Structure 1
Amino acid sequence: MSAATPRAVLFQHDAPVSAGALAGALVRAGFTLETRFREVRPGDAEADLVVVLGGFMGVYEADSHPYLREELALLERRLHQRRPSLGVCLGAQMLAAVSGARVYQDPKGMVLGAQAIHVTPSGREHSIFAGGPESLLVTQWHGDTFDTVRGAETLAFSERQPQEVFQLANSVGFLFHPEVEPPTLESWARTFPQSLSRAGRQLDDMLARDVPSLQAARADSEGLLKRVAEHFVRDAVLDSR
């Protein structure tokens, strides 16, 4: 890492699935941000931090989405070089894939809306969760899952996924969406009714229960994002010098 302000490159795959509140947290922690939309540019692999966001495609559809192959290669290279990466939803699944884990459509269907995650004992000692609550209400929106990521430390789990948050080398994967704020969840629910149908959810129920619940848990979500950003500045980026 240079002495200059640390640089984070964010890979975005679909317009509605942006960095959201994560972008502000990274900037406040000291990062400058560069966003890529379905492309990898020269020099991206050497960024101080790479963030791979979510998307409506699956890891197993990389043949139809060549940019996913490029991102997978980039993530694998960074893992070998111990350069830090953060994967969110699809990004976490991509981290799992480059570690050798199988990624596939969840046979139980989509997970969508507000759901509790629970921090593991080792997670409570990790800077991402230390000092925060042992359980958090988070935003879920995914239809894929993955097998156990071998060699990874599990930081949090949910009812459906035993590795909801994991650390692999000095990279971290979040299967849920820590960046999504309640108004964004409401917008997604209104815009993508087919996803609600796949999850067996109703729009009225989502708006009446999930969105207000996540709004009430906003302070916990903001605290998590702050710790995530500070973790990568302090514990990951500086250690990679």
Structure 2
Amino acid sequence: MTRTALVLQHDPSIHLGNIGPTLQEHGYELRVVQVGTPEDIAAIDPREADLVVVLGGEMGAYQTDEFPFLAAEQDLLRARLDAELPTLGVCLGAQLMAGALGERVYKGDTTQIGFRRIEPTDAGADSPIRHFAGVPVVEWHGDTFELPERATLLASSSDYSNEAFAIGDFALAVQFHPEVTDEMHETWVSDGYNELDEQAIDPDALRRDREIYSAGMQEASRAAFSEWLESLPR
């Protein structure tokens, strides 16, 4: 039986990556919406898709005046989460999920760029997030959020306490970027020289880390999202 995964994408270079093939292997037909206006969201029935995936973006979830579609996305997410429908948020998507549930999203104390380790909580060790234990994952963000009251914290890092959370058995949010393929990472590094220079980060060091850590992250991502998809309520 074919199911539909509605994917909200904010930037052509920030796409599903390795999550796409995993979704297709589990019988999902992908419908990708490039979000640019509130009307793009208004045309969507928030309850229609079997799964909604909200991807990352360069904007902050709190920049609703500059990017009014972000408020519309939060309305869509609120409707899905209130209806307990399967939902996945990655980076900005995770922040929008927190915002949809009334929590504050804000600039953090530091910018994380590079392969970093996350630490699953006790709850995370009993969830698909356990596949990332000891596996450096891509981080590329400077924002964070308060944990929603309804959420279960699944992972933290040395810089940020909220790296992954679940809501019941139907929603998952990750602040990091497990979806990033080698090709995506190279695009981000190549296009991000100004930001990397501001943060005093050597792009070639990021490339060397990719050679070391990417394969492990790809494997962990496939395992984690396969397990999560198989656990979703039918």
Asked if these proteins are the same fold (TM beyond 0.5), I'd say yes
CA shift, 1:191, in A, is 1.1
- 2:225 alignment counterpart: 228
1:104–1:144 contact (8 Å) kept in structure 2: yes
- 2:83 alignment counterpart: 81
Letter in 2 for 1:236: L
168-177 or 193-202, larger mean C-alpha shift: 193-202
- 1:62 alignment counterpart: 64
- 2:96 alignment counterpart: 94
Alignment of 1:194-205 (within 5 A): 194-205=194-205
Unaligned regions of 5+ residues in structure 2, if any?
none
56-65 or 196-205, larger mean C-alpha shift: 196-205
Q: Does 1:34 align with 2:31?
A: yes
- 2:22 alignment counterpart: 25
- Aligned residues, how many? 228
2:144–2:162 contact (8 Å) kept in structure 1: no
Structure 1 vs Structure 2: percent identity of aligned residues?
32
Alignment partners' CA distance in 1, 2:44 and 2:56: 22
CA shift, 1:205, in A, is 2.1
1:111–1:199 contact (8 Å) kept in structure 2: no
- 2:112 alignment counterpart: 111
Change (3 A) 1:100 1:43: closer
Q: Does 1:185 align with 2:185?
A: yes
Change (3 A) 1:160 1:125: same
Match of 1:14 among 11, 14, 25: 11
1:138–1:221 contact (8 Å) kept in structure 2: no
Structure 2 length-normalised TM:
0.90
Alignment partners' CA distance in 2, 1:7 and 1:158: 33
Structure 1 length-normalised TM:
0.88
1:49–1:237 contact (8 Å) kept in structure 2: no
1:119–1:135 contact (8 Å) kept in structure 2: no
SS at match of 2:106: strand
Residue by residue over 1:51-109, the C-alpha shift from the partner in whole angstroms, topping out at 9 and shown as x without a partner, is: 0000011111122222222211010001110001100000000011112221111132x
SS at match of 2:129: coil
1:105–1:143 contact (8 Å) kept in structure 2: yes
Q: Does 1:46 align with 2:48?
A: yes
Alignment partners' CA distance in 2, 1:221 and 1:49: 22
- 1:175 alignment counterpart: 175
CA shift, 1:220, in A, is 4.5
- 2:145 alignment counterpart: 146
Alignment partners' CA distance in 1, 2:177 and 2:52: 16
CA shift, 1:212, in A, is 1.7
Residue by residue over 1:187-218, the C-alpha shift from the partner in whole angstroms, topping out at 9 and shown as x without a partner, is: 2111111221343312222223x222223xx2
- Runs of 4+ aligned residues of structure 1 deviating over 4 Å after TM superposition are none
2:129–2:224 contact (8 Å) kept in structure 1: yes
RMSD over aligned CA atoms reads 1.8
